[in-house]
Amino acid sequence: MTLVLNSLESGDCSEQIKALLAGKDENIEIVNTADMKIAHCMGCNMCWLKTPGVCAIRDDYEIILKKLVAAENFWIVTDTKFGFVDYRGKRVLDRVVPMLNMYIEFRDGWERHQLRYHPLNFGVIYKGDGNQELLEEWSMRVARNMAGRSLGVIALDKNEVREGVALEAAAAPVENAAPVKRVLILNGSPRVKKNSNTNKIIDAFGEGLQQAGTCYDVYSLSNRLEWDAAREAFMTSDNIIIAMPLFVECLPSLLLEFLSTLPTERKQPAQLSFILHGGFDEGHQLRLGEKFLLSLPAQLGCSCGGVLVKGGSFLLRNRENSYIKKMTDKMLASYTTMGLSFARSGSFSTPEAMKFTGPEKNPWIGLLLFNLIFKRIVKKNFERIAQEWGCTEPLDSKPY
């Protein structure tokens, strides 16, 4: 079965979709998600560690999860913004996480979560000025996460003349900017502040800023009540950092929504930089997100201060265990060093910021050691956390 999630607000385009997918599958079901109640994933991890496979948000997405369990091919139909999938399209993708489970393995040489059910192929049909190359790479990455293949990226209206958003022109970060006096930091994680790994990273980074005498203000976008003030601060600050976790290979849908509410023109110039982190520790897992981020400052009327990229942040919020505490203390201390470096150099285009990411890929010896020793330790650790969270089901159970 082919499941198509149509997130477009602009009426029913089922005939157009069917025509585009003609010959690919006889059995196509199109679901219009604009008619459904679907919230942003808030990153609570309940679907992995407390009620395996069941999302804590009790809205219409459960209907979709049940359909995904029966599907083989999965398309999203989405509008675009900033050259990428808009927040409505990304929102239906971020919620797909219960289709995977907490356990980690290496597939095609990459760290991955295990499938809860079966492989899913994935494709994108888009409207508007999407960047074809970026969307193709994203589709391929998403499909591989679900052990499937990319079904392709198709423009909804093939005859429409689209400009496409150029990524490269906007990509060069400013080098050797002046030392920073004050910086605005936005926490782009949908997870509540007290549990957010991004928040822990911002605190550590902020310590470094303060050591250099740089002041900073923080707004958390997980709290919508802070959005007006965050927008106002974004428009009036001249040095802005948005810190965020990687969600399904790119930005969380909640952050995409916030960005799409910003005015397109600014009165004062500003430099916009980013801190991008993710659960897996390999640098290359974050590179598509980085590519997209590098294109954003120009689209928001800002100059680009670069992207600080680092994986391995998943355990920052679970620091009870002394081994994990030691490991994560070291990581947080390295963010403090980067705060100091940013305050002095004014950007993330320094050699130390480039080196900060660490290895792009695990070496073969790392894969071997993982399979022989660490896999079991990591598994046990997740099971311990689940038990502490009151989980009574096996983490790989299949509720649907």
Ligand X SMILES: Cc1cc2nc3c(=O)[nH]c(=O)nc-3n(C[C@H](O)[C@H](O)[C@H](O)COP(=O)(O)O)c2cc1C
| Smallest distance from ligand X to CB 278, Å | 3
- Give the bridge partners for 153, in sequence order: 124
| Smallest distance from ligand X to CB 279, Å | 3
Q: Does 97 bind ligand X (CB under 6 A)?
A: yes
Taking the least distance from each CB to ligand X, the nearer of 2 and 313 is: 313
Taking the least distance from each CB to ligand X, the nearer of 246 and 294 is: 246
Which tokens sit at 226? Answer: 């802070």
DSSP 3-state assignment of 314? helix
| Smallest distance from ligand X to CB 175, Å | 28
Residue whose entry in the numeric block shows the structure tokens 């209907």: 63
Taking the least distance from each CB to ligand X, the nearer of 177 and 186 is: 186
Taking the least distance from each CB to ligand X, the nearer of 317 and 344 is: 317
| Smallest distance from ligand X to CB 145, Å | 7
108 burial (CB, 10 Å; 0-12 / 13-18 / 19+) is exposed
DSSP assignment letter at 179: P
Taking the least distance from each CB to ligand X, the nearer of 156 and 290 is: 290
CA distance 367 to 374: 9
| Smallest distance from ligand X to CB 79, Å | 20
Q: Does 93 bind ligand X (CB under 6 A)?
A: no
Other C-beta atoms closer than 10 Å to the C-beta of 245 total: 25
| Smallest distance from ligand X to CB 266, Å | 27
Taking the least distance from each CB to ligand X, the nearer of 130 and 278 is: 278
Tell me the residue nearest to ligand X as measured from the CB: 278
Which residues have C-beta within 8 Å of that of residue 211, sequence separation ≥ 6? 336, 339, 340, 343
Q: 272-291: which residues touch ligand X (CB under 6 A)?
A: 277-280, 285
Taking the least distance from each CB to ligand X, the nearer of 99 and 125 is: 99
CA distance 215 to 239: 11
Q: Does 53 bind ligand X (CB under 6 A)?
A: no
Q: How many residues bind ligand X (CB under 6 A)?
A: 22
Which residues have C-beta within 8 Å of that of residue 62, sequence separation ≥ 6? 54, 55
Q: Does 112 bind ligand X (CB under 6 A)?
A: no
Taking the least distance from each CB to ligand X, the nearer of 17 and 93 is: 93
CA distance 59 to 184: 34
CA distance 33 to 18: 17
CA distance 286 to 313: 12
CA distance 188 to 252: 8
CA distance 41 to 251: 12
CA distance 96 to 178: 43
319 burial (CB, 10 Å; 0-12 / 13-18 / 19+) is middle
Taking the least distance from each CB to ligand X, the nearer of 156 and 218 is: 218
Among 3, 30, 41, 183, binds ligand X (CB under 6 A): 41
- Pairing relationship of beta strands 100-107 and 110-115 according to DSSP bridges: antiparallel
Residues 149-168, mask of contacts with ligand X (x by CB under 6 A): --------------------
Q: Does 314 bind ligand X (CB under 6 A)?
A: yes
| Smallest distance from ligand X to CB 244, Å | 8
Which tokens sit at 241? Answer: 């950092």
Please choose, out of 79-87, 150-158, 306-314, 327-335, the segment that lies near ligand X by the rule CB under 6 A: 306-314
- Pairing relationship of beta strands 239-245 and 100-107 according to DSSP bridges: unpaired
Taking the least distance from each CB to ligand X, the nearer of 8 and 275 is: 275
Residues 240-279, mask of contacts with ligand X (x by CB under 6 A): -----xxxxx---------------------------xxx
Q: 182-221: which residues touch ligand X (CB under 6 A)?
A: 189, 191, 196-198
**Would you tell me which residues interact with ligand X (CB under 6 A)?**
41, 43, 94, 97, 189, 191, 196-198, 245-249, 277-280, 285, 311, 313-314
